[in-house]
Structure 1
Amino acid sequence: MPDQPLIILDGGMGRELQRRGAPFRQPEWSALALTEAPQAVVQAHSAFIDAGAQVITSNSYAVVPFHIGQARFDAEAEQLANTAGQLARQAADASAGPVRVAGSLPPLFGSYRPDLFQPALAGTVLKPLLQGLAPHVDLWLAETQSLIAEVQAIHAHLPAGGKPFWVSFTLQDEGEQDVPRSRSGETVAEAAQAVAALGVQALLFNCSQPEVIGAAIDVARSQFEALGVSIAIGAYANALPPQPKDAKANDGLDELRQDLDPPGYLRWAQDWRTRGASLLGGCCGIGPEHIERLAQDVR
């Protein structure tokens, strides 16, 4: 049964920006809106807040060389990250109630591609993101992570100041799984042990099919209980079909699953809550209408 107060997260920014008419094309993806349609970013954040989100995530996921190119990253990354943090802060501060801003720290060398991780370059990519976001965010969220080593590298480069550090892994969701695993093949048990050693405040699972998340929550909770640590557990699944091992996250707009409309998604969120998750939101394809239904019913 749940033993921590429920916190509602936001949903997927990319499709919400596109729905609002913001520029949205490859390879820049959602980063385009930071310079070409910043007000749409604020509006998207505000829509999730109005729906009930208590934590919103900065639109900095695509501010990496993989999306905006190395030359533009070298020239503009810190300013783009600053803008992403500033826009999220603006929306949060305009809310009638308290809303926290999570600084999105994405996979540094390509989503779903743990094989591309370059530990020697991690600090170089992280530095402008951290410097740009730091003045505006309340916590750090390393999301859609596939590899324990990358999470450890991100943690090692976090600035001083003691802001909470949340980590979210994306899970293998194609085919039958013997045990829940991240996209690197590492088990959720190994991931839970690793983040506990880092002293994280929360472990989440995102950008995966809802069907694989329940088992991951069970494993994480069992590991934390065995270790005697109190770490919040959360989930924000996507509404996409299963993603194969060679898929590239944000490589295009997949068709959404029809069964993951707001009532359908709510049923999964209720199950995660029963298993002990206390941080619930949505990833790709989960909009304000999903978050509103979740916030109203799961409470």
Structure 2
Amino acid sequence: MPPPYSTLKQRLDNGDIVILDGATGTELQRRGIDMDPAAWCGVASLDNQQTLSEIHADYIAAGAEVVTANTFATSRVVLAQAGFGDRVEEINRAAVEAALRAREASGNPEVVVAASLSHMVYLASDREPEPMPSEEEAAEAFHEQAEILKAAGAELILLEMMYHPTRVPQVLAAARATGLPVWFGLSARTSAKGRLLSYLDSAEIPLARIVELIPGRGIDAAGCMHSGAEITSAVLGQIRKRFKGPLMAYPDSGYFEMPEWHFHDVITPARLEGFYLDWLENGAQIIGGCCGLTVEHVKAAVRARDRYQNAL
């Protein structure tokens, strides 16, 4: 049997639609797991293996064809702030292994296990750490984590929340150095006047500046993630001008106040299904959900795919 990702890549090349999973970190919180004040969901993989595997298994049962390990907030620069700098490899391996076990238990060997890789260097919302990690320390941490994820068995690196113009090239280089396939997920927001911006909230950086950092080759997919559903179509439009490969869309819903996600006014699965249909009609091939979204939202993605394909 060919490796799971090679089968999925062939499907994408043939124009197929792929279902990504939903949130991992916020789903841990929603199921009663405490979030860390400095590393959010980063350390939860250590003592909550069963819950984490259950989350992945539930997404697979709902129709997800890619599940994402709980590694968004597990680089050394983040874990050190939470007092877990000596357990970086253990935490990352535990996260990937939980996803691998869920796939094995599902009986579906074609599910791809992805690892999230972010350029986050701190997560506290009220202050930056003193001192901030240097750019060299951050780049080293990204490379270290990427290699650990590969060694642990991840089959795909999912770059999540790309929005920082300096760190995007660093984390992209770390991911590509592994030799694993890479998907690029950028995050956006709007200005008070409705202009599309990088998700970075400390400056008004035009989204186009981040889009320009998407490489023309060497990645297999690019798209909009951890952004509002209402702006995703416009973001995908900008990405398409730069990137000609498969597009992906997986929005968030609710809002974050470190260390917890607030599940207020979360988009209903039925409403999100309509957005999914719109994105598919405009060329997206990979759909799923990010923070705040659940198994029911992944089921909505499956329904949208089926409706779209039945209408062809």
Quickly name the TM-score band, shorter chain normalised.
Answer: 0.7 to 0.9
What's 2:264 paired with? 256
Matches of 1:235 and 1:249, distance apart in 2: 23
What's 1:245 paired with? none
Matches of 1:16 and 1:179, distance apart in 2: 28
Percent identity between the two aligned chains: 25
5 Å-filtered alignment, 1:1-299, equals: 4-64=15-75, 67-70=78-81, 72-97=83-108, 98-110=110-122, 118-135=134-151, 136-158=153-175, 160=177, 162-173=179-190, 175-179=192-196, 181-183=198-200, 185-197=204-216, 199-224=218-243, 230-240=244-254, 250-258=258-266, 260-299=267-306
The one-character-per-residue Cα deviations of 1:129-182 (angstroms, maximum 9, x if unpaired) are 223211311111110121233221122233655311111111014533234544
Matches of 1:25 and 1:279, distance apart in 2: 31
Mapped contact 1:42–1:91 kept (Cα < 8 A): yes
Matches of 1:111 and 1:5, distance apart in 2: 36
1:14: how far off?
Answer: 2.2
Call closer, same or farther: CA 1:280–1:64 in 2, change over 3 Å. Answer: same
Matches of 2:257 and 2:246, distance apart in 1: 26
In terms of mean alpha carbon deviation, does 200-209 or 283-292 score higher?
A: 200-209
The one-character-per-residue Cα deviations of 1:54-97 (angstroms, maximum 9, x if unpaired) are 11111011213565334734301111111111111111233333
**What SS does structure 2 have at the residue aligned with 1:235?**
strand
Matched AA of 1:269: Y
Matches of 2:77 and 2:136, distance apart in 1: 16
Matched AA of 1:130: A
Matches of 1:127 and 1:104, distance apart in 2: 13
Question: What is the Cα-based RMSD across aligned positions, in Å?
Answer: 2.7
Matches of 1:99 and 1:110, distance apart in 2: 31
In terms of mean alpha carbon deviation, does 285-294 or 268-277 score higher?
A: 268-277
Matched AA of 2:194: Q
1:287: how far off?
Answer: 0.2
Matches of 2:299 and 2:190, distance apart in 1: 26
Matches of 1:178 and 1:129, distance apart in 2: 34
**What SS does structure 2 have at the residue aligned with 1:266?**
helix
What's 2:309 paired with? none
Matches of 2:82 and 2:268, distance apart in 1: 40
Mapped contact 1:173–1:208 kept (Cα < 8 A): no
Matches of 1:111 and 1:199, distance apart in 2: 29
Mapped contact 1:93–1:99 kept (Cα < 8 A): no
Q: Runs of 5+ in structure 2 lacking a partner? A: 1-13, 307-312
Matched AA of 2:212: Q
Q: Runs of 5+ in structure 1 lacking a partner? A: 225-229, 242-247
TM-score, normalising length: structure 1: 0.84
Matches of 1:66 and 1:240, distance apart in 2: 26
Number of aligned residues: 284
Call closer, same or farther: CA 1:210–1:112 in 2, change over 3 Å. Answer: farther
**What SS does structure 1 have at the residue aligned with 2:279?**
helix
1:214: how far off?
Answer: 0.7
The one-character-per-residue Cα deviations of 1:207-227 (angstroms, maximum 9, x if unpaired) are 111111110111111333xxx
In terms of mean alpha carbon deviation, does 38-47 or 260-269 score higher?
A: 260-269
Matches of 1:71 and 1:179, distance apart in 2: 33
TM-score, normalising length: structure 2: 0.81
Matched AA of 2:174: H
